[in-house]
Amino acid sequence: MKEVTLDMAGSMNLIVRKCFLKAEATTDRFHVQQLANDAVQELRIKYRWEIINSENTAYKKVKASGQVYKPEILINGDTLRQLMARSRHVLYKSRDKWTQSQTLRAKLLFERYPDIEIAYNLSDGLRKIYNQAIDLNTARLKLARWFDQIEKACLDSFNSIKRTFEVHHKQIINYFISRSTNAFAESFNAKIKDFRRSLRGVVDIDFFLFRLTKIFA
């Protein structure tokens, strides 16, 4: 079976439909996982801005009274604002890869914002589905159960992901046939961007493509 791995961009889908008529299109797993990661980070950023605005308001009130503003310090030494900023990388990783300090930070975060924990568990659940060596039918079943968890969570950002899955369902499921990714294409794309950056831009496109062919072909 011929297969093409791609992201969910409409332009890429159009190229595949026109140039690879008999190939199966497969959505790269890392683009799908990134959607879930972004949904978690969206929630974290929302709360971070709320904390920033709240601290700014409190600071103005304390300053007006001639006192010194002292933010709340958590048991790990973070302020709430620092907790939100430093949790960014924690939420990208699986629990079993957290360091001791990251485990404590996640515990403090989830205690104060349980919906962030719900979002994190959904994202981590999708990651675990992709990491399992399962067949197509098992993947369908596990993703269906994952969708049920999304409905129970009632998080707007994950409802958007569910709609994306509904649109690209076949291409996403195709990953579990041969577990192909477009990591090679992404790596090559990064090399092209780095090469273009070293030239400080491109004026003659034909000559640029000629040089790419000579160097990377």
Asked if the model's pLDDT at residue 119 lies above 60, the reply is yes
pLDDT tier for residue 154 given thresholds of 50, 70 and 90:
confident
Question: What are 26-38's pLDDT values in tens digits?
Answer: 888 888 899 999 9
Asked if the model's pLDDT at residue 7 lies above 80, the reply is no
DSSP β-bridge partners for residue 6: 27
Report whether 43 contacts 119 (CB < 8 A).
yes
Per-residue model confidence (pLDDT) at position 5: 78
Report whether 202 contacts 196 (CB < 8 A).
yes
* H or E stretch at 26: strand 24-27
Per-residue model confidence (pLDDT) at position 68: 84
Token pair for residue 129? 């589905």
Helix (H, G, I), strand (E, B) or coil at 83: helix
* Alpha-carbon span 44 to 60, nearest angstrom: 25
Q: Could you tell me what percent of the chain has a pLDDT over 90?
A: 40
Question: What are 35-51's pLDDT values in tens digits?
Answer: 999 999 999 999 999 99
Higher pLDDT, 161 or 143: 143
Q: Give the single-character DSSP code of 21.
A: T
Question: What are 181-202's pLDDT values in tens digits?
Answer: 766 666 776 777 887 887 777 7
For 76-83, the CB contacts below 8 A with 24+ separation are 76/101, 76/104, 76/105, 76/108, 78/105, 78/108, 80/51, 80/55, 80/112, 81/48, 81/51, 81/52, 81/55, 83/108, 83/109
* Alpha-carbon span 90 to 123, nearest angstrom: 12
* Alpha-carbon span 129 to 9, nearest angstrom: 23
Q: How far is Cα of residue 163 from the mean position of the Cα atoms in its chain?
A: 16
Residue 66 carries which side chain, given as an amino acid letter?
G
> What is the value of pTM for the model shown?
0.81
Token pair for residue 118? 């719900």
